[in-house]
Homo-oligomer: A and B are copies of this chain.
Amino acid sequence: MITLALDAMGGDSGPEAVVKGAYIANHHYKIPCKFLLFGDESKIIPILKKYPQILKKSKIIHTDCFIASDMKPSLALRKGRDSSLGLAIFSVKNGESHAVVSSGNTGAYMALSKIIFGMIEGFDRPAIPAIIPNMYGHSIVLDLGANIESSLKHLKQFAIMGRAMSTTLLNKKNPTVALLNIGTEFIKGPPILQDSYTEFNNSFEKNFLGFVENIMKTHADVIVTDGFCGNLVLKSVEGTAEFINKTIKNEFSKNLFSKIAALISLPLFKKLKNKLDPRLYNGAPFLGLKQTAVKSHGSSDALGFANAINVAYQMRNFPSNLNSNII
């Protein structure tokens, strides 16, 4: 039986989203696993009592120490080892669980998991990927981390990690990879992208699709960019989707006619919403670590957390897969 370590104190919704998320993961997604719940037992127990099925499969590891959402990574490294997050990470390190999930402070989580797990040889720093739906399916886009500058070596590491994740999580056999740029022509972009083009061509051969400029219109399984551009692009995609969603809602609530139209169209919009619901894409593994740590969005609810649990379950053996993928 697989055991997952859950930081019950991270994120805006705390233990409520975590315990209910575990319930959804177990009972709706049918993920066969047990849980270690790290945090304040006086807060966790009342919620667990509402989900007796999860109560049976869980063990609480009590701690009064939590990492605040604005704690600096350097401070978390000094003071955070006995926190709910730190203990959850150590439980994986010690073999008591197979992977850890937290909605807590990203910087602290990344720093602690990097120091406790260590990096796989050949990878310099953890990368954060996102799965983004597009015209033809989905792409894994990375890096979305706080790594602001990326050298050719880092971009290549991102490509290797992204391809391994595509195989492990999305069952792609020979994932294709592309580089994000402001045009698709070979001559476009700054020198680092032109050098990367040559390097990717040599390393990934026919699986390298060249430059891509529109992440919504590509067949590439993996899209590589640096952490700064990746962040900007992800926020633009999310912002635009939210803007259109609000504009549609406004139009549909203007008068009686539009409200009737909304009522009739509702089932169709539900389908659209289900397809684009960011909660369904929640759960970003820190790639390159020797063991599996999954970051759930700070504002994620139970459904979002359940998806992060699913990612942790599917990705529990990812580090050994990645190890065998190093070029």
Contacts and interface: CB of A to CB of B under 8 A. Distances in A.
A248 B229 contact: no
Interface of A: 133-135, 146, 148-149, 180, 182, 189-190, 213-217, 227-229, 231-233, 235-244, 246-248, 251-252, 258, 260-262, 264-265, 267-269, 271-272, 275-276
A244 B247 CA distance: 13
A261 B251 contact: no
Nearest to A266: B261
A55 B228 CA distance: 52
A236 B232 CA distance: 9
Contacts of A246: 135
B261 A265 contact: yes
Contacts of A275: 247
A235 to B, nearest CB: 5
6 tightest A-B CB contacts, nearest first: A216-B239, A236-B236, A182-B231, A240-B240, A214-B239, A216-B243
Count copies of this chain in the complex: 2
Q: Which of A232, A240, A251 has the most CB of B within 10 A?
A: A240
B215 A236 contact: yes
Interface majority SS (helix, strand, loop, mixed), chain A: helix
Given A239-B214, A240-B237, A244-B276, A258 B251 contact: no
A262 B261 CA distance: 9
B232 A182 contact: yes
A3 B237 CA distance: 41
A248 B244 CA distance: 11
Nearest to A275: B247
Given A247-B275, A251-B272, A261-B265, A217 B239 contact: yes
A231 B258 CA distance: 36
A229 B244 CA distance: 22
A272 B247 contact: yes
Contacts of A241: 240, 244
Contact of A236 (B146, B233, B261, B272): B233
Contact of A243 (B134, B213, B261, B265): B134
